[in-house]
Amino acid sequence: MTSSPAHSSPAPPAGATRATGLASRWSDPRLLGRAVITIAALALMAFPLLSDDAYYQNMIILSLVFAIAASGLNIIMGYAGYVSLGQGAFIGLGGYTIGVLATRIEGPSPWVWVPVAGVVTMIVAIGLGLVSLRSSGASFVIITVAFLFLTSVIAINWKSLTNGTSGLTLPLPSWDDDIMNWPFYYALVLILALQIGLSWWIRRTKLGMGLIAIRGDETKAATIGINLPVDKIIGFAASSIFVGMAGAVYGYYLTFIDPRGMFGILLSVQVVLSVLIGGSGTLWGPVVGAFMIEPLNEIANNNFGGGNVRLYLFGGLLMLIVIWLPRGVLPAIEGLWERRRTAGRAGLVGARVDTTGSLSGLAISDRVAPSGVDDARPLLRLDGLSKRFGGIQAVDDCTFDVVAGSITGLIGPNGSGKTTVFNLIDNTIVPDRGEITFDGERIERLPSWSRAHRGLGRTFQITRLFGDMTVLENVVAPQRSFSWTQLGHIAVSGREARMAEDLLDFVGMRAFRDQKARALSYGQQKLVELAQILMLDPKLILLDEPAGGINPVLIERMAEMIRELNSHGTTFLIVEHNMPFVLDLCPRVHVLSRGSTMASGTPAEIRSDPAVIDAYLGDDFDVETEGEGAR
């Protein structure tokens, strides 16, 4: 056979194109998924009209409640990565809100209290969200468990409000017996639709992008301009408001509310299980999961007497899923599909880094102008900056300037506090005292994201990319300003996507745009991280060991890129141990020793400074031999 591969052969006849087009359309999982969803939604809508089987109606009503709770939890757990065992409490809060109000205030229909329950629940959830600002990972899970138990203790003990363990009985529904469950059923379908709509909308906005960055690496997210508290608080609000409403409908449906039923831990477990089994972070996974778990729960309760069997079911499933199916059912199916589709195509990860593009075609910067080194104007000034870790004074009264338009080096022995200085400058660590002035403005009290918005970009010594995201997603993740309306903008606009591609082109990584960042080599990650912070359009870039651990050709290229960016007006502050690289690149160098600046000057001055030679470079230091020998 001499024929070339199909994709490069001349255009096939029209009929063939249509045939393959149709076939590929049916094998497109998204389209198939949409068809399945439409059918499922129609079946759900039609069910009460077609069947009056109370058993199944009840099962679907409960499934709807859990689907809403799971879809809500997915915003905070799936997108933002905060696993919460307190989600069941939001159902309970909704139930108690309607219970307390409907038994106290006679007159209006209990339906009036459903939206109120949503708002009450949301307010409590925002409180829990405020707690999350100071804790993460496992401590957050503990907090949510504590939160759930606390709500339960309050419901039991605040008898004057909740009637304690005896519970509250709501007025019976007033409508006709024939349609008994319809209002509950369709109200929940409506709330579920709203919840899914909200989840879908968040996922495609800047807010969703921020939440997913938070899941990947929260500290890093802050340094690329993502406003953590705002994103998280909105996330918490969005994850609870409809759940509170669903809880109210659920409470009205049960007509009886008590602490056991409303704040039981198994309620929360069921919600978390639904999210996990369906697929955390996916739009439909939690809903599918809820409709899988609730029937199992019903069977355990009705056919096996509940109790211990239910515990075995939930406990066993929880363990099995974490061990065997951590990503959930939907992503697993999608993964299989994807693997079959792409079978045989080689990965790109081993490919070479492209030659870098040029900046001239890029209009990356609209706020820095090429002005050359301006000695009169320091862009960044540290004054008396200090930080102590326990018994170690990591940074001690550190004072230096970075002149606007310069490439400034920061060198010093290991442990002299260079990275800590970087961490202080971008607020990854809070200084004990001292001032940081950036572009004429004091910034030492500003959070990381505000500093990023003012034009401060920073790479990390050990690269910190979002491993689960593709290279392109990593580069578009930064947010260069903050406004409330902007949170609702589409996650990646066409302009931003083009800019990101240009930047990837510039660092020579365009061919890798669809690879997961995790799959890249260390040197490639350094290049992507540089492109990522360029997206912030920074005035000052802090590079932490840009030449560490990468090959000489790449080091050379890194230097070229830094010079090119600098010629367009970007200022650099570079921490690096590769002396030929620093002394060659930086017209101005600060030497750090024991946390304070021991010398500043031109490379020539530094090289001949006896104190620096003694503390760092060593007697036998010689740039020429160092450059040839070590590299």
Partner 1 sequence: MLEFLQYLVLGLLVGGVYALVASGLSLVFGVMRIINIAHGAFLILGAFLTYTLWSGPGIDPLLSILIVAPATFALGWALYKVTIEPVRTAPMASTVLLTFGLALVIEATMGVIWGNNATSIRPPYGSDSFSIGSFYMPKAQVFGGLVAIAVLVALGLVLTRTWLGRAIRASAANPTGAELVGIKVSSVSALVFGLGTAAACTGGAIVGILYSFVPGTHYTWIARLLAVVVLGGLGSLNGAILGAILFGLAETFTSAYVSAAWATAFPYLIVFAVLLIRPQGLLGARQREDASAL
User: Based on CB atoms, which residue is closest to partner 1, 99 or 264?
Assistant: 264
Question: Are 537 and 456 contacting, i.e. CB atoms less than 8 angstroms apart?
Answer: no
Q: Which residue has the tokens 């974490």?
A: 322
Residue 415, CA distances (Å) to 394, 418, 549, 595, 616 in order? 8, 7, 18, 8, 12
Structure tokens that stand for 631 in this block: 């590299």
Structure tokens that stand for 542 in this block: 């802090």
Window contacting partner 1 (CB under 8 A); options: 24-32, 60-68, 308-316, 529-537: 308-316
> Can you tell me which of 37, 40, 161, 318 binds partner 1, judged by CB under 8 A?
318
Q: Show the binding pattern over residues 272-291: x = contacts partner 1 (CB under 8 A), - = does not.
A: x---x---------------
Under rule CB under 8 A, residue 399 binds partner 1: no
Under rule CB under 8 A, residue 139 binds partner 1: yes
> Can you tell me which of 23, 31, 142, 348 binds partner 1, judged by CB under 8 A?
142
User: Based on CB atoms, which residue is closest to partner 1, 37 or 126?
Assistant: 126
User: Based on CB atoms, which residue is closest to partner 1, 219 or 521?
Assistant: 219
Under rule CB under 8 A, residue 157 binds partner 1: yes
> Can you tell me which of 460, 466, 506, 581 binds partner 1, judged by CB under 8 A?
460
Nearest by Cα to 71 from 334, 276, 284, 262: 284
Q: Which stretch of DSSP H or E encloses residue 590?
A: strand 588-593
User: Based on CB atoms, which residue is closest to partner 1, 263 or 284?
Assistant: 263
> Can you tell me which of 462, 490, 553, 611 binds partner 1, judged by CB under 8 A?
462
Question: Are 472 and 532 contacting, i.e. CB atoms less than 8 angstroms apart?
Answer: no
Window contacting partner 1 (CB under 8 A); options: 34-42, 227-235, 318-326, 478-486: 318-326
What does residue 601 show for φ and ψ, rounded to 5 degrees?
A: 160, -165
Residue 335, CA distances (Å) to 49, 272, 342 in order? 37, 22, 10
Under rule CB under 8 A, residue 269 binds partner 1: yes
Under rule CB under 8 A, residue 428 binds partner 1: yes
Window contacting partner 1 (CB under 8 A); options: 41-49, 81-89, 226-234, 570-578: 81-89
Write the CB contacts of 388 (distance below 8 Å, at least 6 apart in sequence).
394, 432
Under rule CB under 8 A, residue 492 binds partner 1: no
Write the CB contacts of 495 (distance below 8 Å, at least 6 apart in sequence).
none
User: Based on CB atoms, which residue is closest to partner 1, 399 or 461?
Assistant: 461
Q: 134 exposed, middle or buried (CB, 10 Å; 0-12, 13-18, 19+)? A: exposed
Nearest by Cα to 480 from 532, 518, 547: 532
Under rule CB under 8 A, residue 153 binds partner 1: yes
User: Based on CB atoms, which residue is closest to partner 1, 51 or 308?
Assistant: 308
Q: What is the distance between the alpha carbons of residues 203 and 489, in angstroms, rounded to a whole number?
A: 11
Residue 309 beta carbon to partner 1: minimum distance, rounded to whole angstroms: 8
Spacing of C-alpha 91 from chain mean position? 25
Under rule CB under 8 A, residue 332 binds partner 1: no
Question: Are 385 and 435 contacting, i.e. CB atoms less than 8 angstroms apart?
Answer: yes
Window contacting partner 1 (CB under 8 A); options: 59-67, 139-147, 366-374, 398-406: 139-147
Residue 283 beta carbon to partner 1: minimum distance, rounded to whole angstroms: 21
- Positions that interact with partner 1 (CB under 8 A): 81, 83, 85, 131, 134-135, 137-143, 145-147, 149-150, 153-154, 156-157, 219, 265, 269, 272, 276, 307-309, 311-312, 314-319, 322-323, 326, 390, 419, 423, 428, 460-462, 464
